[in-house]
Amino acid sequence: MEVQIAVAKVNKYATSESGDTVEVIERPNGGLSVVMADGQSSGRGAKWISTLAVRKVISLLSEGVRDGAAARAASDYLFTERKGKVSATLNILSIDLQTSTLVITRNNPAPVLLARDEKISCLAEESIPIGLYRDTRPLINELPIEVGLTAISYTDGLVHAGCRSGDCMDVTTCLQALLDEGDPTPKESRMHCSSMLLNWTRIVR
């Protein structure tokens, strides 16, 4: 099996540091996990929040903790550390070789897009960020691993891209154009987004 992972990141205009953090970790029982977080607000404070959340998750995943439990623990930790006054969105995309599935864990209002056979579907159930409430639960979807399956998660930079100028970006349309070109590198996203983090995971064989 071959898995391709791509990440595109653009800092927010006039902000020296992005509030987004992403890490990739090998799962102790086989597979890979990509953990992505976006801290509340922007700048160094937001970066500290997202780094805190991501490090908590990857430390637990490295110990064999399940994705959902790791997300809940990160939320409780952030809630305790900052007394419920800050939040972060969190996504975990995992290739789990024990179950031969793609596990998608989401605490993020932004949806996760899936592409199979050039057709796009959307995981858009209501989801809340971590850190605001005790015992916040993630949404978890588990899909069989199959050749050509592509999963895309992103932070709110893509959601708000272009809105100030009245030309909001349609993420699904952008993805369809990329699929039609056969190029998983999100070039158009980089041109249109002022602040975002996009994670692209594709099973190629």
pLDDT tens digits along 149-183: 989 999 887 776 767 777 777 888 887 887 777 65
pLDDT per residue as tens digits for the range 121-147 = 999 999 999 999 999 999 999 999 999
pLDDT band per the 50, 70, 90 thresholds, residue 62: very high
Alpha carbons 91 and 168: distance in angstroms, whole number = 23
Mean pLDDT of the chain: 85
Per-residue pLDDT at 167: 77
pTM of the shown model: 0.86
Task: For 75-95, write each residue's pLDDT tens digit.
Answer: 999 999 999 999 999 999 999
Q: Can you tell me the distance from the alpha carbon of 69 to that of 91, in angstroms, rounded to the nearest whole number?
A: 13
**pLDDT for position 189:** 36
Q: Whose CA is closest to 21, among 90, 75, 103? A: 90
CB 90 within 8 A of CB 131: no
